[in-house]
Amino acid sequence: MADLLCPKKLVIRASALLVSFLQHICGQQITDSNFLLQVGVGDTSKGSSQPNDHYCWMRPEDIDYKRPVTECHSCSDLASEMAAALAAASIVFKDSKTYSDKLVKGAKALYKFGRLQRGRYSPNGSDQAIFYNSTSYWDEFVWGGAWMYFATGNNSYLTVATAPGMAKHAGAYWFGSPNYGVFTWDDKLPGAQVSIFRTPALNLIKLFSMILLERKNMILIS
């Protein structure tokens, strides 16, 4: 049954795509002020048939239209998301210490960039705001911080991810939201909460205090 659900060729292909993706991220030239945000254009909201990455579904090898490069100077959400991806991958590839260490190094650089260069990757009027808009970067701070802790064991990342102010900004107490608790591309908080609550470093006293605080907020809202 496992072979039917996940054929070996598919696993090999998926693994190759994962490695290619990770190498792309690790190959980025991350500076103190910018890194690569997007290649191509994706806006089709006005019904334009101008070739772009959403209008034309084709193999990269067949693309013959221009694909402009956009840099990011303040994109905390994207940087933290990428840091989480590299940190998680470093755990997957932990048997290859050299490669795992390379992933961790890239994750550290990206998370630091995100924390220092505050801002959303999709500001109003930008191309990416039209189809993959980000409403906040605080949930990515928690998400990225959690994975950075799992990958490095450095408690400073866990301290950031579990800071009370961080949870508030990330929407942990917005119980009235119709999408509360839904893990989406725009909200990583639910996934981060599940991950963090599995962390031995969080003792029972802290867990109970967080639960009581949430219940208090639920009572106030109701």
Give whichever of 113-122, 124-133, 137-146, 198-207 has the largest mean pLDDT: 137-146
Q: What is the DSSP letter of 129?
A: H
Q: What percent of the chain has pLDDT over 70?
A: 73
Please say if the pLDDT value at position 13 is more than 90: no
To which H or E segment does residue 72 belong? strand 69-72
**Domain extents for the chain?**
37-71, 73-222
Residue, of 204 and 56, whose pLDDT is higher: 56
Least confident of 72-76, 103-107, 110-114, 211-215: 211-215
Closest CA to 190 of 143, 156, 154, 158: 143
pTM passes above 0.85: no
The alpha helices in 7-162, defined as continuous H runs, are 8-26, 76-92, 97-116, 127-131, 138-152, 155-161
The DSSP result for 8-29, as a single string, is: HHHHHHHHHHHHHHHHHHHTS-
pLDDT digits (tens, 9 = 90+) for 157-190: 998 998 888 888 888 877 777 778 888 888 888 8
pLDDT number for residue 207: 54
SS3 46: coil
Tokens of 42: 């994706």
Phi, then psi, of 36 in degrees rounded to 5: -70, 125
Burial of 161 (0-12, 13-18, 19+ CB in 10 A): buried
Please say if the pLDDT value at position 88 is more than 90: yes
pLDDT number for residue 123: 82
Please say if the pLDDT value at position 2 is more than 50: no
pLDDT number for residue 128: 77
pLDDT number for residue 31: 60
User: Mean pLDDT throughout 69-89?
Assistant: 89
